[in-house]
Every structure is written in C-alpha cells, then in structure tokens.
C-alpha cells in the first residue's frame, strides 16, 4: 500500500488544470440540485430526491478516493493521488449535506425522532456511523495534521476509510426496498478496490521478506 514514490507536486505539476477542473465538476451535482429545487423540478418528493442524490454523490466520491492508490499500483498513474485528498473532502462535504438534509428538511430537527432512527434502524445507524467516522479524517486532512500526528499514526487513522466505504455501501444496500442492482455495483467496485490493496500489501510483504532474507543468504 505504501510506496516510496512521492505524490505529485502540490501545485499540480504537469497538469495545473486538473485539480481546479475536478473541483469545479465536483460542485455540479450540488449546483443541479439547487437549480432544480429553485424551479420546483425535483419531482413530487423533492426532499427525498435531494437526500438520495446527495448521499449517492458522497458514496461516489468515497469510492473514487479509494480508487486512487490502486490506480497507481496497477496502472502506474500518479495523477489520481494528487486528487485523493480533494475527493475525500468532497465525500465528506456531500455526506454533510446528505446528513443535514436528513436532519433539517426530512426530520425537521426533531431530536427524539433522529435519535430513535439512529439507534433503532440498522441502515440509518450504519450511515450515521460512516458519517461520524469521516469527521476525524476530514479534520486531519491537512499537511499540518500529518506532521502533528506523525505519518505512521496519520496513516493508521486514515485506514478507517476502508471501514467507512463498507459502511457507506451497506447503508445504501439496506435502504433499497427490493431492487439491489445499483448498490450491488458499488459493492463490487469497492470489493475490487479493497482486494487490490490486499494483493498489493501481500506482494509487498513477500518482497520485503525476500529482501531481508538476501543478506543472510549472502553471508
């Protein structure tokens, strides 16, 4: 998983347009929802429509952020790594909007109803857990936080994202009434991404063991 290769330069290096472009595109789902809401074009149940789309957008960003490292390991692409933090923060941004829509518009800020939902309903508990676990990751997303924690501890903390990905997909799966095709697609993509990490880690361990064995053999 860890590689000695350094990520792309903060300025964007050879692709100065990449980060601003992804940032701009990342705001499109929110822009569309706001535009449609203002025109009454979100359908008969606009709160549910906005809620579902914001949640799904958060999940897409979460999966995309988990795809960056496997893309480097398998295809040798380094540019996704430069986007990884932004993708993760957008996942958090949309998760905030999703939870905010649920708490404010859907539940009307009725604390008792929200508490009952979170504690009694498996699918809401799972989604809420994913949201809460994203908070420490977003809070430690800066370079200063990495320095403060130390890279090893920072990295250990950010491995939480694997669990968050699983919780996010589970939340989506449990919500669906009967047709699980779409959550199944996200589950498969997530499974491939996690599997790729396991394979890479296993290979790395084998390489390290071989490297450690070499001097002994030569002695």
Partner 1 sequence: MKSPAPPSSEITPEALYADRRRFLKSSLLFAATAAGVGAGLIGLTGGARLRGRADKTADGALAKVRPGPFGTSEPPTPLKDITSYNNFYEFGTEKDDPARLAGSLVTRPWTVAIEGEVHRPQTVDIDALLGWFPPQERVYRMRCVEAWSMVIPWDGFPLGDLIRRAEPTSNARYVAFTTLLDPRQMPGQRREVLEWPYVEGLRLDEALHPLTLLATGLYGRALPNQDGAPLRLVVPWKYGFKGIKSIVRIALTRDQPPTSWNIAAPQEYGFYANVNPAVDHPRWSQAMERRIGEVARRPTLPFNGYAEQVAGLYSGMDLGRNF
| Residue 113, C-beta contacts closer than 8 angstroms, at least 6 positions apart | 107
158: number of Cβ within 10 Å: 16
Among 32, 115, 191, 206, binds partner 1 (CB under 8 A): 32
Among 78, 175, 184, 197, binds partner 1 (CB under 8 A): 175
Please identify, using beta-carbon distances, which residue of 15 and 205 lies nearer to partner 1: 15
Among 3, 13, 34, 43, binds partner 1 (CB under 8 A): 43
- Smallest distance, partner 1 to C-beta of residue 133, A: 21
Among 24, 74, 142, 188, binds partner 1 (CB under 8 A): 24
**Residue 83 and residue 64: Cα distance in Å, rounded?**
10
138 contributes a contact to partner 1 by CB under 8 A = no
Of 66, 67, 183, 63, which Cα lies nearest the Cα of 123? 183
**Residue 96 and residue 77: Cα distance in Å, rounded?**
30
Helix pair angle (181-218, 160-175), 10° resolution: 160
Structure tokens at 187: 């589950």
Binding pattern to partner 1, positions 89-128, x when CB under 8 A? ----------------xxxx----x--xx--xxxxx----
**Residue 166 and residue 17: Cα distance in Å, rounded?**
32
Please identify, using beta-carbon distances, which residue of 109 and 195 lies nearer to partner 1: 109
Task: Please answer whether residues 133 and 160 qualify as being in contact, where contact means their C-beta atoms are separated by less than 8 angstroms.
Answer: yes
25 contributes a contact to partner 1 by CB under 8 A = yes
Which residues of the shown chain bind partner 1 in the complex (CB under 8 A)? Answer: 15-18, 20-22, 24-29, 32-33, 41, 43-45, 47-48, 52-53, 56-57, 60, 105-108, 113, 116-117, 120-124, 174-175, 177-179
């Amino acid at each position: 998983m860890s590689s000695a290769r350094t990520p792309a330069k903060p300025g964007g290096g050879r692709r100065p347009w990449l980060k601003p472009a992804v940032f701009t595109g990342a705001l499109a789902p929110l822009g569309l929802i706001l535009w449609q809401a203002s025109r009454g074009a979100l359908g008969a149940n606009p709160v549910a429509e906005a809620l579902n789309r914001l949640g799904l957008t958060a999940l897409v960003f979460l999966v995309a952020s988990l795809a960056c490292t496997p893309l480097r390991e398998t295809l040798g692409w380094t540019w996704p790594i430069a986007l990884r933090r932004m993708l993760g923060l957008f996942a958090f941004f949309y998760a905030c909007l999703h939870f905010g829509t649920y708490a404010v518009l859907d539940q009307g800020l009725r604390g008792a109803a929200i508490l009952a939902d979170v504690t009694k309903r498996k699918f809401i508990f799972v989604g809420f857990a994913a949201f809460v676990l994203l908070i420490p990751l977003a809070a430690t997303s800066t370079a200063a936080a990495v320095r403060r924690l130390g890279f090893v501890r920072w990295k250990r903390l950010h491995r939480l994202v694997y669990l968050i990905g699983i919780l996010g997909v589970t939340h989506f799966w449990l919500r669906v009434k009967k047709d699980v095709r779409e959550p199944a697609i996200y589950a498969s993509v997530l499974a491939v991404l996690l599997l790729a990490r396991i394979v890479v880690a296993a290979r790395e361990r084998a390489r390290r063991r071989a490297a450690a064995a070499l001097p002994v053999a030569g002695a």
